[in-house]
Chain A
Amino acid sequence: MDGFVRVPVREQDAKVRATNFEEVCLGYNKEEAEKEALRCLNCKNPQCVQGCPVSIDIPAFISQVKTGDVEGAYQTISKSSALPAVCGRVCPQESQCEGKCIRGIKGDAVSIGKLERYVADTARELGIKPEGAKEKKGKKVAVIGSGPSGLTCAGDLAKMGYDVTIFEALHEAGGVLVYGIPEFRLPKTAVVKKEIENVKSLGVKLETDVVIGKSVTIDELMEKEGFEAVFIGSGAGLPRFMNIPGEQAMGVFSANEFLTRSNLMKAFDENSRTPIMRPKKCVVVGGGNVAMDAARTALRLGAEVHVVYRRGEEELPARKEEVGHAKEEGIIFDLLTNPVEIHADENGWVTGITCIRMELGEPDESGRRSPVEVPGSEFDIDCDAVIMSLGTSPNPLISSTTEGLEINRRKCIVAQEENGQTSKPGVFAGGDAVTGAATVILAMGAGKAAAKGIDEYLSSKQ
């Protein structure tokens, strides 16, 4: 019964890939993609589409793959998504599109993500680009941040004919796609750069090295530089620490620092001018995608890696595929474990970490069982590096310099879900800056909604 099992995707061998930074998953070729596409039942009432936050017409593009019409499939996807090569790789498909696929009830769901990736990669090789605007509207919109939310919002607005400029604080565009998610999961030059070029080819201008709130404020953009609306897609980049003893020792990093050095500054490459510590034995604290990326990066730099997470396997927030890959590569999971103190030698370098065992208590109101310490269960792990991956929150640079922009208790910008409108007229927001750290596709969905919101706002203004 062929139809119940998905066409397996080729991957780099776990032993080999644990020592390099090349992409782990090799993707489908034409034959494999067309074979997998045949498994789609082309449902009349496709549940998969409801699981996709940007409602890609999944059965339509898969049908086009079946007939070998990659260009058509690409244009179908492009109607809803600006970054298909990215989403096909990093979306948590098991809880979104594929989680809803009817095929999943008895057997494997259709590999929607891998098919989307196949279409996007093939289209790129064939030089197919998204279609631009036919008429210009002659109105300027500023987009802050070049992560998935900003790129999507900018791309959509450009397609409607707006004159869009993206302002990015770093020297390179892409947000988390360039500084956070590693090369072995999302190739920078081959994939991310190309997707950004696609957005630029729609006429979007990009100004890097501009920190909004420092170099120029939102009010100045609107009053002095003639931008009639602004979209804030500044993400949630502020790292948290645990505030446990020893956290300032040398060898303790935030995942953001470790990943930024490796990804944005390319420190994994021996020839890079940015240094990075190459630990021998490294403890990564946390269980999300960021923790998996930090752990697998440290592994590739030569370390034995332990992931310390306070809940159990079931509760690991990372994508299943990443956890699986991490295990195959030899990462050790110390679950139901929490750090209490980091130790350092007389010169201030990390020598180890004391952890305590946890057990899951009664479910709270939200139904989540919160972990409680098991008294007297402390134990030590020797290590020379600790990477803290405890989540991030939005940076206050923008909210603290923009008059009349409401934020909530978690420092997130308050914006309406359906159109991104904030408390300040003409200012819209979306992505991690609004929701706190979430996913690429949710950020894109928010960018899309805001583009529509901005268009409605500017159309009604005249």
Chain B
Amino acid sequence: MFKILEANELTTNIYQMIVEAPRVASACLPGQFLIIRVDEEGERIPLTICDYNREKGTVEIVAQAIGAETYKLSKLKAGDELADVVGPLGKPSDLCEMSVDELKKKKILFIAGGVGTAPVYPQAKYLKEHGVDCDVIIGAKTKDLVILEDRFKEVCNLHITTDDGSYGRSGMVTKALQDLWDEGNKYDHCVAIGPMIMMKFVCKLTQELGIPTVVSMNPIMVDGTGMCGACRLTVDGKVQFACVDGPEFDGHKVDFDQAMNRMKLYKTEEGRLFLKAQEGDTHHGGCGNCE
């Protein structure tokens, strides 16, 4: 069992937790993920490692409650335990492989969308710790959904944009990128993490601008160790398993349309389970009031 030391709601439906997982904490690097099971009957859900403390043996996760499992997770409090935490899984970010001199020569931009903001944090923090500057664009639908703003401010040049213009710049992250570029920011490395649709459009733009772009793919997974092939993607015409070959890939080579399609695979099946989790025992059927 893995103890939750801290649990907070960052904004509507987005939850942050610090969990005791010494083996993961001692080995993980930015870009990697872990898999949890909330309880003994739970599904295995992959979540990016958002921060870690090697001395304390803890890792931080940020999860959006979108389905049955993440909804259950959101109900847990400090002191509760997760049945399983396994990791770190996947490859660390390319940035961790580069030398500090190499990194310093680059002008690096991160683009984060929605809950994808959290996985960007450890990478920006890693750069800061190695004395490397970077820019970060955080995109959110509206002001209330911007997360981790204060922590980002400490480690990067932060640009916030909201779809409705309620905070920071106005418009989608692609508009912010175009604007920053036009303002004279000539980036030569981009990392985009967020919903697949966002990553797809960021990649389209960075291809036009000629900025090499890395994306972090989050397909449906089961084991996370290369055993099932559920997470397979086509990258540069070749089949890749996101859990072991990724999760980061060259965004200009990923077949996003196919990847987005594959995400729909269990939609109806999961919708059913989600309703069950939310309504719990209150839903008996047969009352005539619901379908």
Contacts and interface: CB of A to CB of B under 8 A. Distances in A.
Given A239-B229, A348-B264, A395-B244, 12 more contacts: A169-B223, A211-B86, A214-B87, A237-B226, A243-B239, A250-B265, A257-B222, A275-B273, A277-B266, A348-B261, A348-B262, A395-B226
A256 B228 contact: yes
A25 interface: no
Contact of B269 (A170, A211, A241, A275): A275
Nearest to B232: A248
A254 B265 CA distance: 14
Interface in B228-276: 228-230, 232, 234, 239, 244, 258, 261-262, 264-266, 269-270, 273
9 smallest A-B Cβ distances: which pairs?
A275-B269, A257-B228, A209-B86, A254-B229, A237-B227, A275-B266, A348-B261, A215-B23, A171-B84
Interface centre among B37, B85, B265 (most CB of A within 10 A): B265
B83 A171 contact: yes
Nearest to B37: A171
Contacts of B159: none
Contacts of B264: 250, 348
Contacts of B273: 273, 275
10 contacts: A215-B24, A215-B88, A237-B225, A238-B227, A241-B229, A241-B239, A257-B222, A260-B228, A273-B69, A275-B270
Interface in B73-119: 83-89
A243 B265 CA distance: 20
Given A209-B85, A257-B222, A273 B42 contact: yes
Contacts of B27: 214-216
B44 interface: yes
Name A's interface SS: loop
Nearest to A256: B228
Contacts of B55: none
A250 B264 CA distance: 8
A260 B269 CA distance: 17
A171 B44 contact: yes
A273 B277 CA distance: 9
Contacts of A274: 43
Interface in A207-253: 208-211, 214-216, 237-239, 241, 243, 247-248, 250, 253
A210 B23 CA distance: 8
What is the interface residue range for chain B against chain A? 35 or more
User: Which has the most chain B C-beta neighbours within 10 Å: A238, A247, A276, A395?
Assistant: A238
Interface string B20-44: 0001101100000000010001111
A275 B265 CA distance: 10
Interface string B56-85: 000000000000110000000000000111
Contacts of B277: 273
B84 A209 contact: yes
A28 to B, nearest CB: 34
B226 A265 contact: no
A211 B228 contact: no
A248 B41 contact: no
Interface in B202-242: 222-223, 225-230, 232, 234, 239
B272 to A, nearest CB: 8
Contacts of B88: 214-215
A260 B68 contact: no
A370 interface: no
B87 A215 contact: yes
A211 B43 contact: no
A300 interface: no
A86 B106 CA distance: 58
Contacts of A237: 225-227
A218 to B, nearest CB: 13
B74 to A, nearest CB: 15
A261 interface: yes
A12 interface: no
Contacts of B24: 215
Contact of A211 (B41, B222, B225): B225
A383 to B, nearest CB: 16
A458 interface: no
Contacts of A210: 23, 86
A257 B229 contact: yes
B203 to A, nearest CB: 19
A42 interface: no
A272 interface: yes
B86 A169 contact: yes
B41 A272 contact: yes
A273 B261 contact: no
A408 interface: no
Interface in A193-212: 208-211
Contacts of A169: 86, 223, 225
Contacts of B269: 275-277
A354 B270 CA distance: 31
B231 to A, nearest CB: 9
Contacts of A239: 227-229
Contacts of A397: 225-226, 244
B33 to A, nearest CB: 11
A366 interface: no
A179 B44 CA distance: 14
A460 interface: no
A277 B43 contact: no
Nearest to B22: A215
Interface string A305-332: 0000000000000000000000000000
Contact of B225 (A254, A276, A395): A395
A462 interface: no
